[in-house]
Amino acid sequence: MSKKIYVGNLDYKVTQEELREVFEKIGETQSVKIITDVVTGRSKGFGFVEMSSKEDAEKAISILNGTDLKGRPLTVNEARPQQPRGTKGFGDRQGKSSRRGSGPGNWR
């Protein structure tokens, strides 16, 4: 059973291929994805690696967490499930305006 790993504090110039090489030294790596900004295409400095087995994932976490890659210490830990996202720009209120008095008839 595969296991997903979060990898943070990546140098913005690290490629998916370079990251894959690092994890392949530990065990079989199924996928590597560095998260990028939609508009600029620039790395956001973190990504996810999916290892083929739970054992390889745990080994990778223990070996690679804190190790240096291109001058930055990696943050490597088990990925948490993605949380559902609310409507963009409106905070935690699930699409409702967070500004009081902004509705129709409330202008001054």
Please list the pLDDT of the chain residue by residue as tens digits (108 residues). 889 999 999 999 999 999 999 999 999 999 999 999 999 999 999 999 999 999 999 999 999 999 999 999 999 999 998 888 776 655 555 555 555 555 566 555
What is the pLDDT, as a whole number, of residue 40?
A: 96
Name the nearest CA neighbour of 45 among 53, 57, 36, 54.
36
* Inter-residue contact 44 to 36 (CB < 8 Å): yes
For the chain, the domains span: 3-78
How confident is the model at residue 83, as a pLDDT? 86
Euclidean distance between CA atoms 61 and 30, whole angstroms: 16
Q: Read off the pTM.
A: 0.76
| Secondary-structure percent of the chain, ordered helix, strand, coil, rounded to 5 | 20, 30, 55
Cα within 13 Å of Cα(89), Cβ side? 1
CATH architecture of 3-78: 2-Layer Sandwich (3.30)
Q: What's the length of the chain?
A: 108
